[in-house]
Amino acid sequence: MRMRDYEMESKTLLLDMDGVIADTMGSVFDTIMRETGVQLCHADTTDYWFAGMEVEPDYILDVMRRPGFFLGLDIITGAKHAINRLRRDYEVVVCTAPLKGSYNAEQEKRLWLDKYFDSELAETAIVTNDKSSVEGRVLVEDNPHIDRTAKWLPIMFDQAWNRHVEDLPVMYGWSDLEPIREYM
């Protein structure tokens, strides 16, 4: 990956929330287990839009649209300490998409960020359907369908649903900050 292909000026580190900072799928799996008895795990989610799973994709999206869903997410192991450390060296901004049909997603995501981090990270978070319009140097993302025309470099946060992506840097959890340091 050549850094010159991306915006060189910005010192902003963009972080997606769902699947990168917050364990969205873990909460989905817990709800599905309680309601249906079907036990799923992260390794079962090999498609970003939930194709081929034991439950219908619409059911998964319905779970995610429920009031309070985003407030109940667990934080991904190591995220809090690593992000607080990165904030000492970089301008860190959460850049997350709202879930279509969820009327509470933005407010709940901001409240979640305030709970696990602080009001500054919550207030500066950018909630948008078009992440490519956001200025930054890199975006740590789990979505393999990320817009490749953006000015920032996408770094894949390793998840079962994005392991087929071979042409982008990969971050293997929050103990692996090397890709961020390399491209920031």
Three-class DSSP labels, 78-103: CHHHHHHHHHHHCEEEEEECCCCCCC
Tell me the mean pLDDT in the region 165-174: 97
Q: What percent of the chain has pLDDT over 70?
A: 95
Burial class (CB in 10 A: 0-12, 13-18, 19+), 170: middle
Region 120-127: what's the mean pLDDT?
97
Instruction: Judge contact between 93 and 124, C-beta under 8 A.
Output: yes
Determine the pLDDT at residue 17.
Answer: 98
- Using CA atoms, how far apart are residues 176 and 150, in angstroms rounded to an integer? 24
Which pLDDT value is given to residue 65? 96
CATH numbers and ranges of domains, the chain: 3-23+74-183 (3.40.50.1000), 24-71 (no CATH)
pLDDT band at 10 (very low <50, low <70, confident <90, very high): confident
Q: How confident is the model at residue 33 (pLDDT cuts 50, 70, 90)?
A: very high
pLDDT at 117 exceeding the cut of 70 = yes
Pairing outcome for strands 170-171 and 153-157: parallel
Is the Cβ–Cβ distance between 155 and 170 less than 8 Å? yes
Q: What's the pLDDT at 9?
A: 62
Per DSSP, 42 falls in state G
The residue-averaged pLDDT of 19-24 equals: 97
Question: In the predicted model, is pLDDT for residue 184 greater than 90?
Answer: yes
Distance, CA of 98 to chain centre? 11
Average predicted confidence (pLDDT) for the chain: 93
pLDDT value of position 3: 45
Q: Tens digits of per-residue pLDDT, 77-93? A: 999 999 999 999 999 99
Tokens 């060189």 correspond to what residue? 8
